[in-house]
Structure 1
């Protein structure tokens, strides 16, 4: 199954939806990244980008794209969380939940090029 389709067990709840803030359709994300539509689907299937089904269409949190690129470290973090058994919604919740020890959210830390500590925490979840 591709990451374009959220499964029943990973249905997006309103609280997690709100944590992510602004959402982009795949077409909007494609424009912001300056890539072709088939490339964004490839990024999602390779877990370099995460999409969640909202309003019956796959969408990407806007925070994952900064200055025309996917934020540095997102792909590695997505893979670590997947290896730890997190589904897409759990991954999204983890990335957007504030952590006082970072400080801020993991996605903010990634956007601020503080990915080493984020990945360290994600890796610890697998143990």
Structure 2
């Protein structure tokens, strides 16, 4: 995908068993978080895993869901969503996930909408 020009931000990756433990939820509930787009994961390194940066206070980052939906509506695959969120975004001077974690969801989603 041409929108990603820089290497993704380094992050730890959490597998499904990690998420069950951290979130204190059943495996079925964790799967629903993916189905309902509260989380997005990748199998590029083996088992399904989520960047640890996608959690805050042991819960999915609240602003992540809407951003995932915008990117998926723009045609992004799960891996492309993750890569875009972790990569440095020149127009905001940091990675979109860093901006989301700092409470700048409107700015991130505005940029994401232009990617369609």
TM range (shorter): 0.7 to 0.9
* Residue number among 84, 87, 94 corresponding to 1:94 in the alignment: 84
Give the superposition deviation at 1:77: 0.6
Residues 42-95 of structure 1, C-alpha deviations (whole Å, 9 max, x = no match): 010111100111443111110001111111211111111011011111111110
- Check if 1:105 corresponds to 2:89: no
**Stretches of 4+ aligned residues off by more than 2 angstroms:** none
Quote the RMSD (CA, aligned, Å). 1.7
2:75 paired with 1:82: no
**Structure 2 match to 1:124:** 114
Deviation of 1:115 after TM superposition, in Å, equals 0.8
Which residue is equivalent to 1:3? Answer: none
Larger helix fraction of residues: 1
Q: What are structure 1's unaligned runs of at least 5 residues?
A: 1-14
TM, length-normalised to structure 1: 0.79
Count residues with an aligned counterpart: 111
Unpaired runs of 5+ residues, structure 2, are: 1-5
